[in-house]
Structure 1
Amino acid sequence: MIYGEFNTQGELIFEIGLIAADGDIIPVQALLDTGFTGWLAIDNQDALSLGWLVDINPSRMQTARGEARFNLYQGSVLLDEQEFAIPALGGDELQDILLGVRWLQTKRLVADFPGGVLTLG
């Protein structure tokens, strides 16, 4: 189980590890976005700096800001002390690293705003 925090806007923030191609683990803050149906979204520059392999064919997807083009990377993350190989969407100028609702198919989310408790695991 990993512990998260609520930021000043009430968003759900968790620390995860991004695993580079050379095995280095980079700790990052990721925002759980229940409107995102994938596993992980990351800025293209960040994914490339991790050495993640990119699929040749980018895809277009509908976002809250309209249609956007995304690359698909073979990503690896460390979450709850477990390593996961996942497809990661890469976009230009993404401000945050996003965790999608796919994680809720395998992890239990507890978000208790009044109690200040946020866990995923």
Structure 2
Amino acid sequence: MIQGIFGSKGELFFEIDLITFDGLNLPVDAMLDTGFTGFIAINKQDLNSLDWAYRGDELLRTAQGEIIFDRYLGKILLDGQEYEIPVYAGDEITEVLLGSQWLKILPLVANYQVGILTLG
């Protein structure tokens, strides 16, 4: 189970590690975005240091509607477990986003009143 933090506007943030092709772990704060239906979305520029394999384009539903993303095969470390997952990249993404696919496999507990935010 990983602890998260609430942002100033009610956002949900979790620290995860992006794992480069060479096996280096890069910690980042990722925002949970339930309007994004994939696992992870990232800005295209951030992919340069990761060297993840390109897997084509894919149309996904987001809070802004359906968008075509570049799809990569990436690795992350979340809750002490390594996952190899599709990662979606776009030019307009300003935060690393965790999508709603995680909620199918990991329970989310969010209680603003007592400051509890966990995933896993």
How does the TM-score come out when normalised to structure 1? Answer: 0.92
Task: For 2:39, give the aligned amino acid.
Answer: W
Q: Which moved more, 1:40-49 or 1:82-91?
A: 40-49
Q: Distance in 2 between matches of 1:62 and 1:109?
A: 21
Give the direction of change, closer, same or farther, for the CA distance of 1:76–1:27 in structure 2 (3 Å limit): same
State the secondary structure of the residue aligned to 2:77. strand
How does the TM-score come out when normalised to structure 2? Answer: 0.93
> RMSD of the TM alignment (CA)?
1.3
**Contact preservation (8 Å) 1:17, 1:26:** yes
Listed as ranges, the matches of 1:1-121 within 5 Å are 1-55=1-55, 57-121=56-120
Structure 1 gap segments, 5+ residues each: none
Residue-pair matches, total = 120
State the secondary structure of the residue aligned to 2:3. strand
Q: Distance in 1 between matches of 2:34 and 2:23?
A: 29
Structure 2 gap segments, 5+ residues each: none
Task: For 1:50, give the aligned amino acid.
Answer: L
**Contact preservation (8 Å) 1:13, 1:30:** yes
Q: Percent identity?
A: 51
Q: Distance in 2 between matches of 1:93 and 1:12?
A: 20
Displacement after TM superposition at 1:94 (Å): 1.1
**Contact preservation (8 Å) 1:47, 1:73:** no
Q: Distance in 2 between matches of 1:66 and 1:2?
A: 30
User: Where does structure 1 differ by over 6 angstroms across 4 or more consecutive aligned residues?
Assistant: none
